[in-house]
Amino acid sequence: MYKTIIMPVDVFEMELSDKAIRHAEFLAQDDGVIHLLHVLPGSASLSLHR
């Protein structure tokens, strides 16, 4: 169905992320590619630079 899917995931909501990944696998079918993207909140990224 889709050739490329960019999927945001939340490591703090793994149950929801797992459900979304299963749905993305269905949409990608046999020849699609799924790219997982995890974005840190602004406050977390600031603490990493200290």
pLDDT, mean of each 10-residue run, the chain (50 residues) = 91 89 94 90 59
| pLDDT for 49 | 56
Cβ-contact 27, 5 below 8 angstroms:
yes
Long-range contacts of residues 40-46, Cβ cutoff 8 Å, at least 24 apart: none
Whether this model's pTM surpasses 0.85: no
**DSSP states of 1-50 as a string?**
--SEEEEE--TT-HHHHHHHHHHHHHHHTTT-EEEEE----HHHHHHHT-
